[in-house]
Structure 1
Amino acid sequence: MDKSNKIIVGISVGDINGIGIEVILKTFEDKRMLDFCTPVLFASNKVISFHKKTLKLNNSINGIPSVDKVVHGKINVVNAWKEDVKFDIGKLTEVGGKCALMSLQSAVEALKENKVDLLVTAPINKENIQSEEFNFPGHTEYLESELDGESLMILMTDQLRIGLITGHIPLSKVSETITPDLIKSKVEVMYSSLKQDFNISKPKIAVLGLNPHCGDNGVVGTEDDEIIRPTIKEIQETGKLVYGPYAADGFFGSKTYEQFDGVLAMYHDQGLAPFKALSFGNGVNFTAGLNKVRTSPDHGTGFDIAGKKKANHLSFQEALFSSLHIHRNRIEYQNLTKNSLKV
């Protein structure tokens, strides 16, 4: 297959009753987007056509039997399922979950076989996608099980990158999950990602504390003094510019994050609540640490506005541009490091 030097982007469409297909089609309404990459949507021609007609969009869709038949300059659609499916726009349905999974599985398989260069995922619903084949709290954990490497969820804009020490786990399990080895591991993933994916030669990373005010010297918790602070000191001794722990409220309130290339939060809402307050609608979810590039928008399925042509596509568009940028940075980094002189 002649790629004509064009990056082929695999796109899973998420829940077919949500806003995923809408933000995808809106992104590619601007035909100039096809100058940057060649999209391959894993869904069905009928589903895409239905959304296109419902939303009164003008995209030209090109159905192909397999990724090997991709046509550059077109929005390609590979049928991830052949049977007719029932639409219930804006509703949580079993069919929506099944189609989301089939789309994701097909896209990941093409990614693993190098038939697409990278993956951009539209939002799934974490409830109706659960099955014997998908028993994960989200995309990140599923992709880690399918690809090589250790994953790190990073929410990012041009000015802010927040990674999570712990991901989709109950708050009650956070403190028992945080260990020196886990902190070291996530720092290493973020450090490596900042170098190879973002072209930052000497990354500067902030680590947030776990307890309010980082424990106030043990008054409101001992984890910061007994686990986090000694681990950061140990990491610093390797030469990495890693600092903390920082109390999250003051860290974001004073905009201290502007002084760092990356931030590691201890748990999901500690990182994502301030991130979305600062950048909702423009943020990107990037799965760092894996051997393949995957990004997604920073929003959910949007059932409440599905089918109404109200969805903002800018986060999906940013996810697409970010994936292309990271993909190119990785190639450049690999080319530079594979020929480096060994001392």
Structure 2
Amino acid sequence: MSDNRIIRVGISVGDLNGVGIELILKTFEDKRVYDLCTPVVYASDKVMSFYKKQLKFNYPINFIADAQGIEEGRLNVIKVWDEVVELQPGIPTQVSGQKAFESLAAATEAINKEEIDVLLTAPISKDNIQSEEFSFPGHTEYLESKIDGESLMILMSKDIKVGLVTGHIPVSQVSEALNKELICKKIDIMYQSLMQDFGVSKPRIAVLGLNPHCGDHGVIGKEDDELIRPILEEYQEKGQLVYGPYAADGFFGNQSYQKFDGVISMYHDQGLVGFKAISFGEGVNFTAGLAKVRVSPDHGTAFDVAGKGMANTSSFQEALYKGISIIKKRKEYEKLTANSLKTKK
């Protein structure tokens, strides 16, 4: 990221028949946003013009061939494909999924080349995006394969940050997927991210147990006592504020999450049911642990309202602002740690 330019936020459009482009057009209609960032969308002039006309937006768009043409103060669209694409708002198609992948691939390449500083991904359909080029459960796994680092999916809002040890896998496979190496890796990523991406000097992390009531001393499962608890004791012996395991229902129900900077959940719905009950519509999906900053809204393609001008921009806009905040925090952290005093011999 160059210190001489406004932060560039690269945006993949998601499924062409979902709400992604509508969210983009609505968000960047507000000219005040351009004081914070320069948006760069990866799509085509024809697709953007279709939605611009259908949704009755009349502000100008800067259609360009590559990053050389990016202008501050404008919505920039880099043309990833030239062909005419049949659009059917609200209906997922093979073509809308393929173009979602092409947009994502172009934006990912751009952030690796440092043409953009933050990657903001609009929602994809995990079904129709599948191909020989994209055989992943979701954005997170694809980006981990393309960007340096090891990922942790964090869903966050102003009230809570929840990271997942296991992500998009069937519940039947969760227990056998858990091991000490994986749990420690995810805790370590959360710990580091809280410091470098959010400015928390001494993170407090809560870890949820796997079984109901954390196993009730082995009556409902042994993983909590035999696997998770000893790991947390090791962290505490090192002076790190990592506590648990906590039974998820009571933890969310009595608002214990308010005492911690981050929460580690053993599996997807264990953490995200609680999170979305607290923050639905305002949450942000952040991929921690990677060398580049990626954020996304916490909702899906919303095919039921696509093309109708009804899409709620709250989560998309919050993702935009969080991405800008995180890249700034990360640069501050890099400067502070780069100048650490060395111990004299």
Q: Does 1:322 align with 2:322?
A: yes
SS of the counterpart of 2:33? Answer: helix
**Which residue pairs with 1:55 in the alignment?**
55
Measured after TM superposition, the shift of residue 159 of structure 1 is 1.4
Measured after TM superposition, the shift of residue 200 of structure 1 is 0.3
SS of the counterpart of 1:183? Answer: helix
Distance 1:97 1:322, change over 3 A: same
User: Equivalent pairs: percent with the same residue?
Assistant: 62
Question: Conserved in 2, the CA contact under 8 Å of 1:164 and 1:267?
Answer: yes
**Which residue pairs with 2:96 in the alignment?**
96
**Bigger shift: residues 80-89 or 290-299:** 80-89
Measured after TM superposition, the shift of residue 4 of structure 1 is 4.5
Q: What's the CA shift string for 1:243-269, capped at 9, x where partnerless?
A: 000000000000000000000000000
Q: Does 1:189 align with 2:197?
A: no
Measured after TM superposition, the shift of residue 236 of structure 1 is 1.4
**Which residue pairs with 1:118 in the alignment?**
118
**Which residue pairs with 1:340 in the alignment?**
340
Question: Conserved in 2, the CA contact under 8 Å of 1:43 and 1:78?
Answer: yes
How much is the aligned-residue C-alpha RMSD, in angstroms? Answer: 1.2
Q: Does 1:304 align with 2:318?
A: no
Q: What's the CA shift string for 1:12-38, capped at 9, x where partnerless?
A: 000010001111111111110011000
**Which residue pairs with 1:209 in the alignment?**
209
Q: What's the CA shift string for 1:72-125, capped at 9, x where partnerless?
A: 100000011111111111001000101000000000001010111110000000
Aligned length: 343
Structure 1, unaligned runs of 5 or more: none
**Which residue pairs with 2:139 in the alignment?**
139
Runs of 4+ in 1 over 6 A off after TM superposition: none
**Which residue pairs with 1:224 in the alignment?**
224
Letter in 1 for 2:129: I
Once the two structures are superposed, the pairs formed by residues 224-263 of structure 1 within 5 Å of their partners are 224-263=224-263
Q: What's the CA shift string for 1:284-342, capped at 9, x where partnerless?
A: 00000000000000000000000111110010000000000000000000000001012
Distance 1:181 1:74, change over 3 A: same
Letter in 1 for 2:68: D
Measured after TM superposition, the shift of residue 60 of structure 1 is 2.0
Distance 1:58 1:35 in 2: 20
Distance 2:93 2:29 in 1: 28
Q: What's the CA shift string for 1:229-254, capped at 9, x where partnerless?
A: 01111121121100000000000000
Question: Conserved in 2, the CA contact under 8 Å of 1:196 and 1:330?
Answer: yes
Per the normalisation by structure 1, the TM-score is 0.98
**Which residue pairs with 1:157 in the alignment?**
157
SS of the counterpart of 2:322? Answer: helix
Distance 2:68 2:162 in 1: 36
Letter in 1 for 2:134: F
SS of the counterpart of 2:136? Answer: coil
SS of the counterpart of 2:244? Answer: strand
SS of the counterpart of 1:190? Answer: helix
Question: Conserved in 2, the CA contact under 8 Å of 1:29 and 1:58?
Answer: no
**Which residue pairs with 2:86 in the alignment?**
86
Structure 2, unaligned runs of 5 or more: none
